[in-house]
Amino acid sequence: MERKIYKLAINFGFIYERKDRDKNNAIKITYGYIIPRESMTERRAPLLIKSQQDIELYKEYVQSVIISVQEKTLIDTKQKYIAVYSVCLMTYILPISGKPIPSLKIHLSKKRQCLRYVNSPYPNTCVLEAIARHLLKDTKEKRYSDSQVLHKMKEIGALFYKDFNPKTFEGFNYATDIQKIHEHLKLSVNLFSYEQDDKTFHYFLSQSFPIPTSLSATELLEGDDELNLLLIQSEEINGINIHTLLVTDKQRLTGLLFCPICKNHCFKQDTNTAKEMERHIKKCKGKIVKQVHLDDQQRPFIPHIMCNKTYRYLLAQGRQNEFKPTQYFITYDFETYEHKVNTNFGKESKVISQLVPLSVASTIHSSKGIKSIYYDICTGMLKCWAINNKTHQRKEM
């Protein structure tokens, strides 16, 4: 299944229910639908399907998505999804880089100074040739020929793949083989693409595959640990294969200046470029500085003591062994109603209403068990409730 790897993305069409209130405070329920869109599939975590295990994992993910979208959010609690009526699934085979294409000459003629091409007899080894050309850098003292680059390419192919044969090699799969560059060569990979406008090409950084590093900012400035590749797609073969060229100068290719530390942040070349780039490099060089602001009077953080007045008092008196959890207690619940009085209070104040006790319910937890009592306004509740509570307190004492 190594050459049958494909990408899978999904999006759902939902029917939703929404509850609103009109001017008369009556509930109004409306229903609507949301159609699935191809542009929304990327939000559903596209997954590379390599084996049956990945398919089972994606099934579990789809179930979790359906459950999560039915939950109400803090942003809108009036609307909820009640049904899934359609599904949009996108599956597409990932392109394999290798075969030379006719439009290759156009890019080489326009960007010859920042692109490198190897005249190779092998059909699908362009990525390995670009890696070999990157490792064999030309200098003033020595320039490497295409035959030397092809020899290095075979060494890299034998390092990446078992039983490597450049004549039968099917091509480099970016979805799975990019990790081989990280593991064996310790290189981060930047993939560049382009947009065509009439007869001109606009090149841009499409994707980066960095490797984890613990190097300092100074070491990153001095190091050269990135591989820049340009992906050229062919319309003649329906985009099934792409060709890869080595980019020797990404700033000249794109017309942008890249940060030498993070190597992803770029700047347009204008009058403000120097200031903006200097400001960004300072941030890349620096580390996150955490400042701790202490209180004027230092106090220990002991909420279990300071938030309990009883335990705090006993601890101050050296009697903390007397602290015991509460065993017996009385709870109460008062109900009131609003009595309108409309009485003037002074020259500018007016009392519109007062709260009048209506009923009280108590639960008494004592050594004899649990007892509930209830009194209302018709039975002289306040007097009876106070007498009953005092009676139970005396019995416990």
pTM here? 0.50
Report domain extents, the chain: 6-93, 96-254, 329-396
CA dist., res. 376 & res. 388, Å (int): 14
CA distances to 16, 27, 278 from 32, rounded to whole Å, are: 5, 17, 52
> In angstroms, rounded to a whole number, what is the distance separating the alpha carbons of residues 103 and 108?
9
Alpha carbon distance 276, 268 (integer Å): 10
How many CB atoms are closer than 10 A to CB 54? 15
Phi, psi dihedral angles at 14 (to 5 degrees): -115, 150
What one-letter code names the amino acid at 237?
A: I
From the number of C-beta atoms within 10 Å of its C-beta (0-12, 13-18, 19+), residue 39 rates as exposed
- One-letter amino acid identity for 119? N
pLDDT tens for the chain, 397 residues: list them: 344 567 777 888 888 888 887 777 788 888 988 888 776 665 555 566 777 787 888 888 888 777 777 665 545 667 888 888 888 887 766 656 555 566 667 777 777 778 888 888 888 888 888 899 988 888 888 888 888 989 999 999 999 988 889 888 888 877 778 888 888 888 888 888 888 776 777 888 887 787 765 544 444 444 457 888 888 876 554 445 678 888 888 888 887 777 777 766 777 777 677 777 777 777 776 554 456 666 666 667 777 787 788 888 888 888 888 887 777 788 888 888 888 877 877 777 777 888 888 888 888 888 788 888 888 877 777 777 777 777 766 665 5
State the amino acid at position 54 in one-letter form: D
Parallel/antiparallel/unpaired status of strands 188-197 and 200-209: antiparallel
Q: Which fold has domain 96-254?
A: Cathepsin B; Chain A (3.90.70)
Q: For residues 127 and 97, is the Cβ–Cβ distance under 8 A?
A: yes
3-state secondary structure of 357: strand
